[in-house]
Amino acid sequence: MAEFDVVIVGGGLVGGSLAGALRELPLRVAVIESAPVRASNKPSPDERVIALSLGSRRIFGGLGVWPAIAPVAEPILSVHISDRGHCGFTRLERHEAGVEAFGYVTPARAMDLALQEALEPASNIQTLRPARLLDHQVGPTGVALDIQVGDERRRITTRLLVAADGGDSGVRERLGLQVDGHDYGQDAVVTTVLADRPCPGQAFERFTDTGPLAMLPMPGGRYSVVWTCRPTETADLLSLTEADFIDRLQARFGWRLGRLSAPSPRQAYPLKLKLVRETIHERLVLIGNAAHTLHPVAGQGFNLGLRDVAALAEALGEAARCGQDPGSANTLADYKRWRGRDQSDTARLTDTLARLFVAPWRPVRIARNLGLLGLDLAPGARQRLARRFMGLDGSLPRLARGLPLETPHV
């Protein structure tokens, strides 16, 4: 029977980031990941790009993996927000906020590879893949896990179980946890396009009658497109020829980037809000999409998960330095204090934006356009909003300040 201090279920970007954060600590860590090992020279099934907030970029800096990611990351230097077909708009400029960038548009594959390379030499990290968790039993001093690794069934134990297994978390379902939320009645169609008049560093968020349309800058004049549409429109958008899709997108977005072309293969995802009421249980914690799945408006979902990682790593680092049990109630209470209300507040904020900007009623439309115009005239309010979305609010753990875990408090 193998003994671990921490077992992470899910070796994706959130689970992999937590493992990367723990690799320098005196903890025995196992990662249970269902996907087989991928060679670095083979295409990844995850060809998404993700808008990392500045706070998330700093977390990757604290993990020591940002130098491997930076060459393919495009900085977001300004954001143009508008209500399509109406007068409301506002602009966020990075120099006004006093930061190098609001964030970075980064391929998920680059982040995954950087984390894999960082974990390879870590003697205290054992990655079990392809593997899946079959069952677990929580006891007063640890958690017993039955897992399937390839064709072999094993039993291992851990002092702390971390569920980072995504929006359809098996751990969460097995526990029967209460989940608040709803279906937005929207899908996100995701692709990338080439612009013949790109605006380097400028991102666009257009609120439309079917939901937000985001255009995020990438290297080489390409833009990542996240087009929120009604489910009745999804099949049509996916089946259009490239030329017809570009014409439809051009009519929706406009000509600020010139002529758009060369769309990549399109994918669609249903949009739902899921928020677990209690993410901390006896010797168990849920992080990332296992704890909260958000609407993509303002790009907060993955960034919120990385803030979970930074806070949990901080609590586990403190416990390791003091010789305390990583799965104890005191350790998890420290994590809860770091997280505060960030999870629920961010979920409510993105939910409000997603609902507010599709409401068709004239009084609401007038109010939101006046709100955008007022925000454009209020630099202080813009800066507070920007800091919130950059993940720089409040007291920050070491990683969120770009510092490695072993750095003393400053």
CB 212, CB 83: distance < 8 Å: no
Which amino acid is it at 274? K
Distance CA 255, CA 258 (A): 5
What is the residue-wise DSSP string for 355-407? HHTT---HHHHHHHHHHHHHHHT-HHHHHHHHHHHHT--SS--TGGGT--TTS
CB 338, CB 299: distance < 8 Å: no
Question: What DSSP designation does 99 have?
Answer: S
Structural tokens at position 135: 């069952």
3-state helix, strand, coil in the chain (%, to 5): 40, 30, 30
Angstrom distances, CA of residue 290 to CA of 170, 176, 203: 9, 13, 28
pLDDT in tens, the chain (410 residues): 469 999 999 999 999 999 999 999 999 999 999 998 765 545 444 478 999 999 999 999 999 999 999 999 999 999 999 888 777 789 999 998 999 999 999 999 999 999 999 999 999 999 999 999 999 999 989 999 999 999 999 999 999 999 999 999 999 999 999 999 999 999 999 999 999 999 999 999 998 989 999 999 999 999 999 999 999 999 999 999 999 999 999 999 999 999 999 999 999 999 999 999 999 999 999 999 999 999 999 899 999 999 999 999 999 999 999 999 999 999 999 999 999 789 999 999 999 888 888 877 777 677 777 777 777 778 888 888 889 989 998 889 999 999 998 744 43
Instruction: Identify the CA nearest to 133 among candidates 15, 54, 230, 241.
Output: 15
Q: Is 45 exposed, middle or buried (0-12, 13-18, 19+ CB in 10 A)?
A: exposed
Distance CA 107, CA 109 (A): 5
Question: What DSSP designation does 266 have?
Answer: P
Structural tokens at position 161: 């179980």
In 283-308, which positions are buried (b, 16+ CB within 10 angstroms) versus exposed (e)?
Answer: bbbbbbbbbbbbbbbbbbbbbbbbbb
Q: Phi, psi (5° rounding) for residue 51?
A: -85, 100
CATH code of domain 2-70+107-180+272-358+377-401: 3.50.50.60
Q: Phi, psi (5° rounding) for residue 131?
A: -150, 160
